[in-house]
């Protein structure tokens, strides 16, 4: 016998969609953690080489954003890129890096969408459910839905709407910069997801733990990929 894997890799698109719909039933969009109880937040992101995925997880204090720890996981790519299926491509490695962190964060930021997904279950929501940890999705571009551009001021927002439903928020974390798309991952409401994103950005466009994870993953790729 072998231990139950935290994540299974589907062998077909149909199987992947079925798994998303199954896990989505365990997803809740309500706020579960009080912001005052948050002391640690994390960010996780991935980089790729031809056949490997390099995942990085960074842990920082909140709201001071001081570095606490970081981990990197390198695994073979076992799923193609398909819009809406990102969790199956990056998920396994991201989970490996995250579970190796020395302490559990109260919230995790992911580079991708959460609820702002065609089946309302993007990478951030998927990871949150599997880790049973509140999560937030931060994306550069929209996958579904449409939002008016937020005013050009720090913290300005504009709802991302899809099918008459508010699935996320375009947030101008820093005036003069393009807005980021924030959406609920798991155990969090949209207002808190936006609030934590802004509080973790510290004047930059992207939440600090996510920026660090991005750099770390890229560095890992260069060192192992070739060099």
Interface stretch with DNA, choices 33-41, 57-65, 133-141, 167-175 (CB under 7 A): 133-141
Rank residues 87 and 208 by Cβ distance to DNA and give the closer one: 87
Binding mask 18-37 for DNA (x = CB under 7 A): --------------------
SS3 for 214?
helix
Q: Does 123 bind DNA (CB under 7 A)?
A: yes
The region that residue 91 occupies, defined by phi over 0 for left and psi between -120 and 50 for alpha, beta otherwise, is alpha
Quickly count: other Cβ atoms within 10 Å of residue 108's Cβ.
28
State the minimum distance, in angstroms, from the CB of residue 105 to DNA: 19
Q: Does 141 bind DNA (CB under 7 A)?
A: yes
State the burial class of residue 138 (Cβ atoms within 10 Å of its Cβ: 0-12, 13-18, 19+).
buried
Q: Does 122 bind DNA (CB under 7 A)?
A: yes
Cβ-Cβ contacts under 8 Å for 94 (sequence gap 6 or more): 44, 45, 46, 55, 57, 73, 110, 127
Interface stretch with DNA, choices 28-36, 46-54, 154-162, 186-194 (CB under 7 A): 46-54
State the minimum distance, in angstroms, from the CB of residue 3 to DNA: 26
171-210 residues near DNA, rule: CB under 7 A: none
63-92 residues near DNA, rule: CB under 7 A: 81, 83-87
- Sheet harboring 67-76: ordered strands across? 67-76, 52-61, 40-48, 107-111, 135-139, 180-186, 165-172, 156-162
Rank residues 63 and 146 by Cβ distance to DNA and give the closer one: 146
Cβ-Cβ contacts under 8 Å for 86 (sequence gap 6 or more): 112, 122, 123
Q: Does 40 bind DNA (CB under 7 A)?
A: no
State the minimum distance, in angstroms, from the CB of residue 47 to DNA: 3
Dihedral angle, C-alpha 187, 156, 141, 9, nearest 10 ° = -10
Binding mask 88-117 for DNA (x = CB under 7 A): -----------------------xxx---x
Choosing from 94, 143, 193, 201, the residue that interacts with DNA (CB under 7 A) is 143
Give the H or E element holding residue 169.
Answer: strand 165-172
SS3 for 69?
strand
Name the residues that contact DNA, by CB under 7 A.
45-48, 81, 83-87, 111-113, 117, 122-124, 137, 139-143, 214, 217-218, 221
């Amino acid at each position: 016998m072998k231990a139950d894997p935290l994540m299974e890799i589907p062998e077909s698109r149909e199987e992947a969609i079925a798994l998303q719909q199954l896990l989505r039933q365990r997803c809740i969009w309500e706020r579960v953690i009080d912001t005052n109880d948050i002391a640690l937040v994390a960010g996780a992101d991935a980089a790729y080489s031809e056949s490997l995925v390099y995942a990085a997880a960074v842990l920082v204090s909140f709201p001071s954003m001081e570095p606490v720890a970081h981990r990197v996981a390198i695994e073979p790519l076992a799923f193609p890129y398909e819009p809406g299926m990102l969790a199956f491509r990056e998920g396994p490695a991201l989970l490996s890096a995250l579970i190796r962190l020395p302490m559990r964060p109260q919230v995790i930021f992911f580079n991708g969408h959460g609820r702002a997904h065609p089946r309302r279950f993007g990478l951030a929501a998927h990871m949150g459910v599997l880790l049973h940890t509140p999560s937030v999705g931060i994306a550069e571009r929209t996958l579904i839905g449409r939002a008016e551009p937020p005013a050009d001021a720090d913290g300005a927002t504009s709802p991302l709407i899809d099918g008459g439903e508010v699935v996320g928020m375009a947030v101008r974390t820093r005036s003069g910069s393009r807005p980021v798309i924030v959406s609920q991952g798991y155990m969090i409401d949209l207002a808190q997801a936006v609030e934590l994103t802004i509080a973790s950005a510290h004047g930059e466009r992207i939440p600090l733990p996510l920026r660090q994870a991005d750099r770390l993953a890229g560095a890992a790729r260069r060192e192992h990929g070739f060099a």
